[in-house]
Structure 1
Amino acid sequence: MHLLTPLFSLLTLPSLLHAFPNVPFKTSTRWIHDSTGANFTYVGVNWPGAGEVMIPEGLQYASIESIVSKIKSLKMNVVRLTFAIEMVDDIKDNGGDVTVQRAFVKALGSANGEKVWQSVVKNNPQFNASTTRLQVFDAVAAELSKQGIYVHLDNHMSKGKWCCSTNDGNAWFGDTDFNTEKWLRGLQFMADHVMTLLQTRKWTSMVSIGLRNEFRKPDKAGKSLAYNWSVWYDQNVAAANLVNAANPDILIFFSGLDFDTKLNPIPGAEDLGSGKRFQKSNFKYSDKLVLELHNYQNSATDCNSMKSGLWNNGFKALDPSARNQMPVVLTEFGFSQTDDSYNKVYATCLRRIIPEWDAGWTVWVLAGSYYIRSGTQDYEEAWGLLNHNWSDWRRSQAIAGLRQMVDASLR
């Protein structure tokens, strides 16, 4: 019996690790498939966790369980959960992860930091003075798994703060706060961390990771590498190789240039400079590759123009004629929840064309407020689906429109 137990464990471990419904995922042509071969469409929301505190937002107002329940009530199936490389830098270079209590004090000051921390613990009594930031991410992932929602982890920033601008130091490889080697290390660490904690059932619904949010040309190049597709290719392929080696199960999302609004040379495998071409067939893990785009054309007046632009900027990869036929997910779009934006051309157009293309999406943003944003504590987020204290939806009409998009995408 003792001789058989280790063998039994080895034989059963993979099936246990991959039990959460039908994982891992893979891709085939333009589709994402679960482990049964069924098509899966990303339908979800962004939950920010890359600000100065470097934990998922809203926990001073609500429990993780209640927040996830609200997402679940919309029938969404995925959360894009953002993180900052700075958290990993602390773990690797500065003596270990920071406790959540200390993170609040550092970001908000002694008085306010302690006050907010006490509110977090009141709503989430599973945390205590020794709880670290990464352990909060673990807890969020575990609750998402518990409620049947998949996790897409996204590297949003290197330094923990609000994103994004061309002068925030995080725009491009080698920018003031964008240390390329630490970025690579951070991605590798998180991919490995997720794989390790599968055994504790905390990250069982983790299916994908975004290598970097919104590449953009920095205002001051400084020591930054040249802003072009050739550099984009070299750095992203290096990152993807590391991530896949650390965790071969997860999908890898590539974002484009100009705030992730352009991936136009990728569908056609066009020359990226110096003879380099992104060719899916060259990757040994070609069935793990996904493209992601963002769109914030809130002032749009013509849906056909929007549709044409999105298609040419990257969604063309969905077409059978594309040399790199791949899934494309709109991982960010959004608008104010305080007015009638939900009923204007931009919102109504996306509600129609993204489901029409059978493309996945994650709306920006869940957060009704932030611990701190751009120096303002308890910042009101007018684009937040939730209200300021995370207790209810901010605008019922906007949520009704979003439910229509969910239903159309899941049909």
Structure 2
Amino acid sequence: MDEPVPLPALPLRTSGRWILDANGQRFKLASVSWYGAEEMDYVPAGLERAHRSAIAKQVRTMGFNSVRLPWSNEMFELNPVVSDGVIAANPDLEGRRALEVFDAVIEALAHEGLVVILDNHVSDADWCCSDTDGNGLWYTNGYPEASWLADWRGMVTRYRNQPAVVAAELRNEPRPANGVTPVWGGGDPATDWHAAAERGGNAVLGVDPDLLIVVQGLNYGADLSGPYTLPIQLAVENRLVYAAHDYAWFHNGLASYQDLKATLGDAWGYLLVQNQPYTAPVWVSEFGTCHTSATCVTDTTGQGFWFSSIRQYLIEADIDWAYWALNGTQARGTGRTFGAEETYGVLDTSWSAPASAALHGALEAIIPVTQEP
């Protein structure tokens, strides 16, 4: 095995709109999401195609410095022995349980100097996300809030001594579920995502006060207007990061870059204005496009135009980001086919090279730090 690549100076912290390393230097999250552990096979996808160490090395060589790893409450609580077929290229993991495979993947990423953000993606192990999948809130009937909090404490305890784990993204894409629509504030424990996020964040910090706490907006992560009047307040200072999501279908009929800029500025870009009661870093923890055509990446209309525009917005303010997704192939979930090409993936179906030079190049261009505190 190659010599390990040093991790950045840890722990990370925040100051105003910036994420900083332990030396007070900016650490810009240039991340990619590696999904699968949150779905029906309970392991990050691709382990049947390539060794985890080779995948981790590929992530680093493509220029990313961090990986967003989704997990489900079902994966954590059930923790089953995984089937041999889903880890075929990692035979040393045969007979291991889901969390042991998750451990091994994080260890491989850490060996490459990559930091990890744990993302509680869903409660029930499955593909995400819709208004009808039942996973839109931070709780379900099978996994009530008490379980969500306990599982977060359990995950953080498990990785308390793994320095590469630097952040906890409390919940993915809050949205309506089972007739209940989450809101920002109001005090109703069944609907108030702001209050739940404070409870969740403080539960995590009670176990590991060095972690960053990542709080997504409402409406599939698109709406962070709530903190303008009601910011998140955590028990430990300099730990809060907001997370926004953006995709082409969030902007039907997008006519100009200025339209996108105005929309995103109102929704979450305003949080980057320094010296305000609400100021905090924003990490765009999901955005992505297809790699099947040049028009997916750059075009004068449609998805390619949106993708060019969101990248311009990220560049102008030098915003932290995570691309969806790393995956060369799909994980097993509703409406998905295990091993099928992931057309939104950075990697090809062998998990050994970029699927699209155009897509990889577009992402490389937004990696460099251009603004400092």
TM-score (norm 1): 0.81
CA distance in 1, matches of 2:280, 2:10: 19
Tell whether the 8 Å contact from 1:210 to 1:254 is kept in structure 2 after alignment: yes
| Structure with the bigger percentage of helix | 1
2:14 and 2:281 in contact (8 A); partners too: yes
CA distance, structure 1, for counterparts of residue 112 and residue 325 of structure 2: 20
1:187-336 residue pairs with structure 2 within 5 A? 187-195=152-160, 198=161, 203-218=162-177, 220-221=178-179, 224=180, 227-230=182-185, 231-266=192-227, 268=228, 270=229, 277-278=230-231, 280=233, 283-297=234-248, 300-320=254-274, 322-336=276-290
Structure 1 Cα separation of the partners of residues 347 and 333 of structure 2: 17
Secondary structure at the aligned position of 2:129 is classed as coil
Structure-2 separation of matches of 1:134 and 1:368: 22
Output one character per residue of 1:16-54: Cα deviation in whole Å (capped at 9) or x when no partner.
xxx843100111111111000101110010001211111
Query: Are the structure 2 counterparts of residues 251 and 279 from structure 1 closer, same or farther at C-alpha, using a change threshold of 3 Å?
Result: closer
- Distance, in Å, in 2 between the alignment partners of 1:73 and 1:164 is 30
- Structure 1 match to 2:334: 374
Check conservation: 1:171, 1:178, Cα contact below 8 A: no
Q: 2:52 aligns with which of 64, 68, 90?
A: 64
3-state DSSP of counterpart to 2:297: helix
The secondary structure found in structure 2 opposite 1:372 is: coil
Are residues 279 and 172 of structure 1, via their aligned partners in 2, closer, same or farther at CA, if it must alter by over 3 Å? closer
Instruction: Identify the range of structure 1 (294-303 vs 306-315) with the bigger mean alpha-carbon deviation.
Output: 294-303
Shift of 1:373: 2.8
Which residue pairs with 1:125 in the alignment? 91
Which amino acid counterpart does residue 40 of structure 1 have in structure 2?
A: F
Assess if the C-alpha contact under 8 Å between 2:28 and 2:369 holds in 1. Answer: no
Deviation, 1:334, is 0.3
What's the CA shift for 1:359? 1.3
Q: Distance in 2 between matches of 1:365 and 1:250?
A: 23
The question of 1:22 aligning with 2:9 is answered yes
2:34 to 20, 36, 47: 47
Identical aligned residues as a percent:
27
Aligned with 2:306 (options 346, 361, 381)? 346
8 Å CA contact 1:169–1:177 kept in 2: the answer is no
- TM, length-normalised to structure 2: 0.89
Structure 1 counterpart of 2:20, from 16, 27, 33: 33
Q: What's the CA shift for 1:409?
A: 5.9
> Once the 2 structures are TM-superposed, how far is the Cα of residue 148 of structure 1 from its aligned partner?
0.8
- Quote how far apart the aligned CAs of 1:126 are: 2.5
Per the TM alignment, residue 174 of structure 1 is displaced from its structure 2 partner at its CA by 4.5
Cα contact 1:373–1:379 (8 A) shared by 2: no
Cα deviation, residue 81, structure 1: 0.7
Residue aligning to 2:81: 99
Q: Which of 366, 370, 373 is 1:405 aligned to?
A: 366
Q: Is the 8 A contact 2:138 2:171 kept in 1?
A: no
- CA gap 1:79/1:320 in 2 versus in 1, 3 angstroms: same
* 2:74 pairs with 1:74: no
Q: Report the AA paired with residue 189 of structure 1.
A: G
Q: Deviations along 1:238-274, whole A, 9 cap, x unmatched?
A: 11111000111110000111001001120x2x1xxxx
Q: Mean alpha-carbon deviation: is it higher for 29-38 or for 378-387?
A: 378-387
SS of the equivalent of 2:38 reads coil
State how far apart, in whole Å, the 2-side matches of 1:143 and 1:409 are. Answer: 29
Structure 2: segments with no counterpart, 5+ residues: 1-5, 186-191, 299-303
Distance 1:345 1:325 in 2: 29
Stretches of structure 1 that go unaligned for 5 or more consecutive residues are: 1-18, 91-96, 102-113, 271-276
CA contact (8 A) 2:118 2:167 kept: yes
Taking the aligned partners of 2:255 and 2:344, their CA distance within structure 1 comes to 20
Q: Decide whether the 8 Å contact of 2:248 with 2:307 is kept in 1.
A: no
- The separation in 2 between residues aligned to 1:306 and 1:395, in whole angstroms, is 25
Q: Would you identify which runs of 4 or more consecutive aligned residues in structure 1 move more than 2 Å?
A: 173-179, 277-280, 297-301, 375-380, 407-411
Give 3-state SS (helix, strand or coil) of 1:338's partner. Answer: coil
SS of the residue 2:136 aligns to = coil
Which protein shows a greater Rg?
A: 1
Q: 2: distance between equivalents of 1:42 and 1:317?
A: 17
Counting matched residue pairs gives 350
